[in-house]
């Protein structure tokens, strides 16, 4: 199987023909659509200018302590043209998304509107920050699979904190604990009405089952990015072979526990529970209190997966060689490790959109 080197191969130092290069070729759908997401975000149209997008990406990569990724965006920015007057507001919001997305509020979004950002620009801004958060974790994971040295702390973070207010901005009951129950999600930025999309755009939304979702019609304010992101999601989570689907869903749940995203955790814990038939183990993970160990009481294999996914989800990431060694001791292959890295990293992206563009509620 032929795999042509892409940006992430280059930045991670993946050797052509290596086990990881072959694994990325096996996951062609994810590999191609990660690249398409990059293209849609940084080459596509938006009222958030390309210069603003690159300024944001460079800073987020720097915050995540990925020097190679930050240098890539600095080079794309070129001679560093002067940032817009509103870039300060964008960077303030980006810092919340990068470091403490669970603390985002509707007022933070409203501040962007006051600074002159349209609904589409706000969505694109969130996508840029979330995507670079994904890239940095994917790169660290790839380097670790390849046996490359990474720097920084390697502590496993505990469970994160989450929203504890009993009501949402619009007065609905809000979840204050992690759950496998189905939840709703209310946007802080107006979704685009289905009728406002062109017939072709409506067909794209219907093809993915997004037409009735406030969340996806909000993200569809930048539809090319949403389309590439959806295909990336499918390429990471719905491909045969490699890591068991239940364990990919477990990784998504762990990332959501670190980031405090009750909504994402509810969806993916439910899937992990259904697929693994290990409801008690999944529920044990959900019930871990803030500041406590996420892997306590788990089997050796799930402990290794949970510890790695939690460390990769930290900001900056703290996943290290010992975490990968523990996974290899449990028999994970390079393809399984790639699936685990990409499933975890994708939720650095997903959580940051869910937590900063709206909030969950308990359906009546």
What confidence tier does 84 reach under pLDDT thresholds 50, 70, 90? confident
Least confident of 57-61, 113-117, 150-154, 174-178: 150-154
* Residue the block writes with tokens 């890239």: 135
Query: 17's torsion region: left (phi>0), alpha (psi -120 to 50) or beta?
Result: left
Q: In terms of DSSP bridges, do strands 358-361 and 184-187 run parallel, antiparallel, or are they unpaired?
A: antiparallel
Phi, psi of 167 (to 5 degrees): -130, 155
Helix H or strand E segment including 205: helix 199-207
Residue 3 confidence (pLDDT): 59
What is the token pair recorded at 318?
A: 């703290």
The radius of gyration of the chain from alpha carbons, rounded to an integer in Å, stands at 19
pTM passes above 0.95: yes
What does the pLDDT read at residue 288? 98
Report how far residue 316's alpha carbon sits from residue 61's, in angstroms, rounded to the nearest whole number: 10
User: What pLDDT band is residue 342 in, cutting at 50, 70 and 90?
Assistant: very high
The residue-averaged pLDDT of 68-84 equals: 86
Residues 288-300: tens digit of each pLDDT: 999 999 999 999 9
Q: How high is the pLDDT of residue 364?
A: 87
Average pLDDT over residues 87-112: 96
Judge whether residue 232 has pLDDT over 80.
yes
Give the integer Cα–Cα distance in Å for 203 and 83. 37
Q: Is 56 exposed, middle or buried (0-12, 13-18, 19+ CB in 10 A)?
A: buried
Please give the Cα distance from 131 to 219 (Å, whole number): 13
- How far apart, in Å, are the Cα atoms of 355 and each of 103, 185, 230, 277, 316? 8, 10, 18, 29, 18
Q: What is the reported pLDDT for 81?
A: 67
Whole-number Cα distances in Å, 14 to 5, 17, 23, 143: 8, 9, 11, 8
For the stretch 156-215, pLDDT in tens is 999 999 989 999 999 999 999 999 999 999 999 999 999 999 999 999 999 999 999 999
- Say whether pLDDT at 1 is over 60: no
> Which residues, 6 or more positions from 325, have their beta carbon under 8 angstroms from its beta carbon?
none
Residues 6 or more apart from 94 whose CB is under 8 A from it? 56, 59, 60, 125, 128, 129
pLDDT digits (tens, 9 = 90+) for 128-164: 999 999 999 999 999 999 999 999 888 999 999 998 9
pLDDT at residue 57 tops 60:
yes
């Amino acid at each position: 199987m032929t795999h042509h080197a892409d940006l992430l191969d280059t930045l991670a130092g993946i050797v052509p023909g290596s086990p990881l290069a072959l694994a990325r070729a096996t996951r062609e759908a994810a590999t191609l659509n990660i690249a398409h997401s990059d293209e849609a975000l940084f080459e596509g149209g938006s009222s958030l200018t390309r210069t603003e997008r690159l300024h944001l990406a460079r800073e987020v990569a720097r915050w995540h302590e990925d020097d190679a990724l930050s240098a890539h965006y600095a080079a794309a920015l070129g001679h560093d043209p002067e940032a817009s007057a509103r870039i300060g507001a964008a960077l303030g919001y980006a810092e919340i998304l990068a470091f403490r997305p669970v603390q985002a509020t509707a007022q933070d979004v409203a501040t962007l509107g006051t600074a002159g950002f349209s609904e589409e620009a706000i969505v694109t801004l969130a996508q840029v920050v979330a995507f670079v958060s994904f890239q940095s974790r994917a790169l660290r994971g790839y380097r670790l699979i390849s046996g490359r040295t990474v720097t920084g702390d390697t502590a496993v973070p505990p469970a994160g904190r989450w929203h504890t207010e009993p009501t949402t901005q619009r007065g609905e009951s809000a979840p204050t604990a992690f759950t496998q129950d189905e939840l709703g999600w209310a946007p802080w930025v107006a979704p685009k009405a289905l009728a406002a999309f062109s017939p072709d755009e409506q067909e794209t939304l219907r093809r993915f089952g997004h037409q009735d979702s406030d969340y996806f019609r909000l993200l569809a304010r930048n539809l090319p990015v949403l389309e590439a992101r959806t295909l990336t999601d499918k390429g990471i989570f719905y491909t045969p072979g490699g890591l068991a689907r239940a364990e990919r869903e477990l990784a998504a749940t762990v990332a959501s526990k670190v980031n405090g995203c009750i909504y994402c955790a509810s969806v993916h814990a439910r899937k992990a529970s259904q697929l693994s038939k290990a409801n008690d183990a999944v529920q044990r993970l959900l019930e871990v209190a803030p500041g406590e160990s996420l892997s306590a009481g788990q089997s050796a294999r799930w402990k290794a997966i949970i510890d790695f996914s939690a460390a990769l989800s930290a900001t900056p990431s703290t996943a290290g060689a010992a975490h990968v060694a523990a996974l290899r001791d449990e028999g994970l292959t390079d393809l399984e490790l790639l699936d685990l890295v990409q499933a975890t990293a994708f939720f650095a992206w997903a959580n940051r959109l869910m937590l900063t563009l709206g909030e969950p509620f308990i359906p009546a």
